[in-house]
């Protein structure tokens, strides 16, 4: 394992059926600590499955996940909740929890058996809602929120876990432009304070705006990984998506365009 890695995958293999096709195929990867890393690839390439294996929700058929040098299989489930938090693409909330009640669920790893959130837990939850511009929603039932509001509240719940590693699955998929900018600012701020942020996306623009480390993924395999500026180029992206692209520089950052050939 790379000594500077927060997460490491070693020869990881996973399939939903024992005799079926592999969704993840012999993945090996080191995610640097204290940086924002994007897993970029087309829909259906295994990105969400990868996050669920990293969390321990799915058990690999072979290989292992290391968290700060420790095998995930040796870390108790409760401790995992203090090490890693997930913001899923979407989550069904079956009860009319208020926004505050929902965010307080992120404090569960710090409570005793049958424990109830205390003053410190409420302080953390309210501060996070305030920082995300959501404080005015704290009494609202979660099912009454818009899709974008619900996604931001799900982010707030994950932040309430105060973990050193944050995982996000297609975090900007349901957000309008304002909330997308707010979320990208949160990602940059967390990484700047030493949190390791690993997020999946099918959108090269989101990756180029938020990530400093890039993983290219296609058909359950890692095609390349490294600093964003080294990996985000036309040849590699063309292989990832199966279409010709161009990468141009706009105001100091790379922008990916489909290469439609000369206008005629």
Per-residue pLDDT for 253 more than 90? no
Give domain status of residue 144, yes or no: no
| % the chain with pLDDT above 70 | 96
CB 207 within 8 A of CB 232: yes
Domain that holds residue 177: 5-94+163-258
Give domain status of residue 47, yes or no: yes
Q: What is the mean pLDDT of residues 66-94?
A: 90
Number of residues that make up the chain = 264
Give the pLDDT band (50/70/90) at residue 264: very low
Give the pLDDT confidence of 98-130 residue by residue, as tens digits.
999 999 999 998 887 667 888 899 999 999 999
Give domain status of residue 127, yes or no: no
CATH number at residue 46: 3.40.50.300
Give domain status of residue 185, yes or no: yes
Give domain status of residue 70, yes or no: yes
Q: What is the 3-state secondary structure (H, E, C) of the chain?
A: CCCCEEEEEEEEEECCCCCCCCCEEEEEEEEECCCEEEEECCCCCCHHHHHHHHHCCCCCCEEEEEECCEEHHHCCHHHHHHHEEEECCCCCCCCCCEHHHHHHHHHHHHCCCCCCCCHHHHHHHHHHHHHCCCHHHCCCEHHHCCHHHHHHHHHHHHHHCCCCEEEEECCCCCCCHHHHHHHHHHHHHHHHCCCEEEEEECCHHHHHHHCCEEEEEECCEEEEEEEHHHHCCHHHHHHHHCCCEEEEEECCEEEEEECCCCCC
Give the pLDDT confidence of 167-225 residue by residue, as tens digits.
999 998 888 898 888 889 999 999 999 999 999 999 999 999 999 999 999 999 999 99
Measured in degrees and rounded to the nearest 5, phi and psi for residue 5 equal: -95, 135
Per-residue pLDDT for 8 more than 80? yes
Q: How far apart are CA 112 and CA 116, in angstroms?
A: 8
Give domain status of residue 66, yes or no: yes
Domains: count for the chain: 1
Give domain status of residue 263, yes or no: no
Give domain status of residue 80, yes or no: yes
Least reliable range by pLDDT among 24-28, 199-203, 251-255: 251-255
Determine the pLDDT at residue 154. Answer: 93
Q: How far apart are CA 33 and CA 20, in angstroms?
A: 34
């Amino acid at each position: 394992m790379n000594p500077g890695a927060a997460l490491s995958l070693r020869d990881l293999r996973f399939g939903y059926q024992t005799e079926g096709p592999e969704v993840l195929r012999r993945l090996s990867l080191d995610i640097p600590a204290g940086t924002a890393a994007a897993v970029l690839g087309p829909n259906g390439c295994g990105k969400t499955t990868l996050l669920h294996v990293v969390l321990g929700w799915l058990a690999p058929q072979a290989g292992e996940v290391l968290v700060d040098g420790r095998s995930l299989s040796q870390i108790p489930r409760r401790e995992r909740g203090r090490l890693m938090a997930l913001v899923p693409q979407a989550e069904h909330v079956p009860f009319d929890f208020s926004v505050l009640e929902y965010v307080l669920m992120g404090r569960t790893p710090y409570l005793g058996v049958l424990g109830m959130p205390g003053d410190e837990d409420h302080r953390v939850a309210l501060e996070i809602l305030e920082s995300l511009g959501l404080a005015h929603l704290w009494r609202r039932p979660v099912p009454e929120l818009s899709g974008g509001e619900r996604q931001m509240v799900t982010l707030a719940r994950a932040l309430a876990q105060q973990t050193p590693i944050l995982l996000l699955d297609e975090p900007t998929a349901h957000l309008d432009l304002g909330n997308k900018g707010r979320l990208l600012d949160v990602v940059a701020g967390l990484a700047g304070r030493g949190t390791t942020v690993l997020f999946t996306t099918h959108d090269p623009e989101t990756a180029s705006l938020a990530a400093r480390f890039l993983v290219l993924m296609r058909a359950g395999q890692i095609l390349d990984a490294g600093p964003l500026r080294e990996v985000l180029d036309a040849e590699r992206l063309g292989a990832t998506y199966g279409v010709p692209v161009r990468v141009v520089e706009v105001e100091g950052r790379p922008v990916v365009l489909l290469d439609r050939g000369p206008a005629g």
